[in-house]
Amino acid sequence: MHDVLPLIDQSRAQGEPLAVATVVRTYGSAPRQVGSKMVVTQGGAMAGSVSGGCVEGAVFEECRRTLKTGQPKLLTFGVSNEQAWEVGLACGGTIEVFVERLDW
């Protein structure tokens, strides 16, 4: 959380909507622990990470989507995923990431 607080504080002070992605579960070897966060603002600024960099692109897009729809979503990434070649984890682990709008 601490690595994303500056961006959260800044965008909330400006009244700018933002989305938060949080690592919920990890299976096998995963680079970031449960609770690790990535934040994306309406303006497209981003902070933090949920993996070693392998799935941040896809999570960024999901954050943009949830900013539009307001719908939270649980995402799963891993080598068993059909998109593995695209957004799989190099380390061979699986992670679940919860994406939501920070409106609570």
- Catalog residues that contact another protein under the rule CB under 8 A: 1-2, 5, 8-9, 22, 24-25, 33-35, 72, 74, 96, 98, 100, 102, 104
Q: Provide the token pair at 69.
A: 């729809």
Which of 68, 90 has the CB closer to another protein? 68
Q: Is 24 helix (H, G, I), strand (E, B) or coil?
A: strand
Q: Provide the token pair at 88.
A: 């799989």
Q: Identify the helix (H) or strand (E) that includes residue 37.
A: strand 37-41
Measured from the CB of residue 85, what is the shortest distance to another protein in angstroms?
A: 26
Which of 71, 90 has the CB closer to another protein? 71
Task: Give me Rg for the CA atoms of the chain.
Answer: 13
Measured from the CB of residue 54, what is the shortest distance to another protein in angstroms?
A: 21
44 touches 68 (CB < 8 A): no
Measured from the CB of residue 44, what is the shortest distance to another protein in angstroms?
A: 21
